Amino acid sequence: MTSSIAESQQGMKQYGKEQPEISQCLSPGRIGVGLNVTSKKRLLERMAAILLKDSTNINRDTVFQILTERERLGSTGIGYSVALPHGRVNGLDKAIGAVATLAKPLDFDAIDGEPVTLVFGLLVPAEANEEHLKLLAHLASMFSNPELRTKVMAAETPSEIYHLLTEWKPKTSTTT
C-alpha cells in the first residue's frame, strides 16, 4: 500500500488513465453496512469473511493471515477515515473486493491519525502486480472524494453502496 492518497493517485498516472471497473470485483453480497467491530483484528476477520462470501475455494483463515501480514508492514488506513486492507492470494482467478461501513469509528493507525469508518478490502491474484496497483490507485482516488465518502457513509443498504461505488467516475480536468 502506498503511504498516502497523493502517492496512490500518482501511481494511477504512472499506470495510465484506464480506470478499473469496480463492478468487476465487487458485488452487493460483499458489502456490510454498520458493522460492529471492537478492534483492527476483528475488523480484518470480518473483512476476510465478507471477501469470501461468493467464493468457496479459498480458506478464510488464509485470507485473514494475508490481510494481517500486510497490515504489519504498515497501516492500510489511507486517511479520511478510510482503510484499504489488501493482499495477494495464490489460486485466485480475479480481483475480489468487499466494502464495509462501521457502526463506530475504529482506531486503525491511519496515516492521518483519524479512526476508520469505511473499509474496502481487496484481494488480487498473486501474480497480478499491475492490476493490484491500478485498483489501489483507483480506490484511493475514489475515496479522496469527500462527496462520495459522505454518500457511502450515509447509505443504508448494500445496494446503495454498490451503486455509488460502481457508478462513480473521476472528475476530468478541463483545459481552456
Q: Report pLDDT digits (tens) over 77-129.
A: 999 999 999 999 998 888 999 999 999 999 999 999 999 999 999 999 998 87
Residue 16, pLDDT above cutoff 80? no
Residue 10, pLDDT above cutoff 50? no
How large a percentage of the chain has pLDDT more than 70? 85
Given the residues 86, 132, 138, 163, select the one marked as catalytic: 86
* Residue 84: exposure state from Cβ atoms within 10 A (0-12, 13-18, ≥19): buried
8 A C-beta contact, residue 99 and residue 165 = yes
Which of the four pLDDT bands, split at 50, 70 and 90, describes residue 11? very low
Cα separation of 63 and 49, whole Å?
A: 9
Which grid cell sits at 154? Answer: 450515509
Whose cell is 489511507? That residue is: 78
Catalytic annotation on 86? Answer: yes
Average pLDDT of the chain, as a whole number: 86
Number of H helices, E strands in the chain: 6, 6
Third-level CATH fold of 5-167: Mannitol-specific EII; Chain A (3.40.930)
Q: Residue 69: what pLDDT?
A: 96
Q: Residue 6: what pLDDT?
A: 42
User: What is the sign of the dihedral through the CA atoms of 10, 166, 46 and 79?
Assistant: positive
Which pTM value belongs to this model? 0.85
Which of the four pLDDT bands, split at 50, 70 and 90, describes residue 169? confident
Higher-confidence position of 171 and 68: 68
Q: Residue 163: what pLDDT?
A: 96
DSSP labels, 108-160: ---TTSPPEEEEEEEEEETT-HHHHHHHHHHHHHHHT-HHHHHHHHH--SHHH
Q: Residue 99: what pLDDT?
A: 97
